[in-house]
Structure 1
Amino acid sequence: MLSAPQDLLRERLLRALSVPAVPSSDYDLNPAYATPVELRPAGVLAAFDRHGRLIMTKRASSLRHHPGQIALPGGKVDPGDANEIAAALREAHEEIGLDPAQVDILGTLPPHRTVTNFAMTAVLGLIQGDFCAKPEAEEVEEVFSVPFAHIADPDSYRIERRRWRGGWRSYYVAPYGPYYIWGATARVLHSLALRMTA
């Protein structure tokens, strides 16, 4: 059963999901770099615990894609996955030990194109009951949580840039304490924040 704060959080997230939105891309701020490619489907889980905190990970430095970065648990859609939601739940179970039965799925955000050519679908959910993370060491270096107030506030986000492919690449960031949330993760969360204030 959801606690009273989670009931309110559920209402806010469902209201945000009802706001019209379009797919986003790592190239939104850098359209000159975008080229047509076939994108591989992926799902990530944006799950809030019973305290209203978003569960996030720091990826292992040995991973092929986005090593050491702050991310939502998730990954590519495997042949055995029914869809991006199934992939996000499976990956969250593998990466941080979250039982899919604990997750109340609220909906999905529009797909986000990453520079690594994934069409990443963020799945919004609420974790029912207590959750004690069990990170899978080969994939996850750390599991931590970020307050809803930080995620939901558009002012938590800013645009930075760095050298990339011989030019400058701009991207969203939403730092929280020692955690540098940026790139695709910050972009989809920023889109969610805008929909919550619409």
Structure 2
Amino acid sequence: MLVDVDRIRAALYTSQGSSSDFDLNPSLKLPQGHISRPAAVLIALWDRPTGARLILTKRASHLQHHPGQIAFPGGKVDAGDANHEAAALREAHEEIGLASDQVQIVGRLPVHETVTGFLITPILGHIRDDFKPTPQAGEVDEVFSVPLDHVLNPDNYCIERRQWRGEWRHFYAVPYGPYYIWGATARILRGLAERLGQ
């Protein structure tokens, strides 16, 4: 299967609403008066000889926030970013060496709210040219890809739990080989799978 841009674009306009880390954890609350910070991530879809794949990163193990976790390229929206798409493309260039002119923006998924206080806008992009990932030194330990079919199959998802700030927190996970994809990344991918109806 190759990336079907038209099908994905059409699926993004379904009526399903936003997602949140609180979907599975209604008792968890952000502190009163908390203002969530805007962020954007790039869901980079990539045609390879073996089929459509999706690019993810493994964050460096020494980072203060989310060390060693699997994530999309992305980060906070800066004041200089024209929009969320620009932020996602800037971060992807910094983190994995993907130039913005190599990406065709397909659309957005609804905003995802995290328990760590971010409002993440997932931007879908199709990599148009051949691309050699270059991990950002000190920030990214590894850039890898997973088959799009794998993350679009609901049977590959499970709900797990762990303690966080003294409470049990439930989350989606979609493991792939040695990679444990969980939390906001897995929830966003689950939303994509739900829209594409597989």
Secondary structure, in 3 states, of the residue corresponding to 1:178? coil
Q: CA deviation at 1:99?
A: 0.5
Alignment of 1:63-102 (within 5 A): 63-102=63-102
Identity %: 59
Q: Distance in 1 between matches of 2:141 and 2:131?
A: 18
Q: Flag structure 2 segments of 5+ consecutive residues without an equivalent.
A: none
Displaced runs of 4 or more, over 6 A: none
Secondary structure of 2:89's match? Answer: helix
Q: Deviations over 1:13-58 (max 9, x none)?
A: 1122121121111111111112352110000000111221001000
Aligned counterparts, 1:2-151, within 5 A: 5-6=2-3, 9-35=4-30, 36=32, 37-51=34-48, 52-151=52-151
Give the distance between the partners of 2:158 and 2:11, measured in 1 at CA. Answer: 21
Aligned residue pairs total: 193
What is the DSSP-based 3-state SS (H/G/I as helix, E as strand, rest coil) of the residue aligned with 1:44?
strand
Please tell me the residue identity of whatever aligns with 2:146.
Answer: V
Worse-matched range after superposition: 31-40 or 113-122: 31-40
Aligned AA for 2:183? G
Cα contact 1:110–1:121 (8 A) shared by 2: yes
The amino acid that maps onto 2:62 is: S
Q: Distance in 1 between matches of 2:36 and 2:196?
A: 28
AA at the equivalent of 1:41: P
Counterparts of 2:150 and 2:188, CA distance in 1: 14
Deviation at 1:5, TM superposition (A): 2.9
Contact 1:158 1:172 in 2 (8 A): yes
Deviation of 1:10 (Å)? 0.9
- How many angstroms apart in 1 are the aligned matches of 2:35 and 2:189? 24
Q: Could you say which residue in structure 2 is the equivalent of 1:176?
A: 176
Q: Give unpaired runs (5+ residues) of structure 1.
A: none
Residues 42 and 77 in structure 1, CA contact (< 8 A), matched pair in contact too: yes
| Local SS of the residue matching 1:104 | strand
Local SS of the residue matching 1:33: coil
Q: Deviations over 1:46-82 (max 9, x none)?
A: 0111221001000011222211100000000011111
Q: Which amino acid aligns with 2:77?
A: V
Q: Is the 8 A contact 1:50 1:130 kept in 2?
A: no
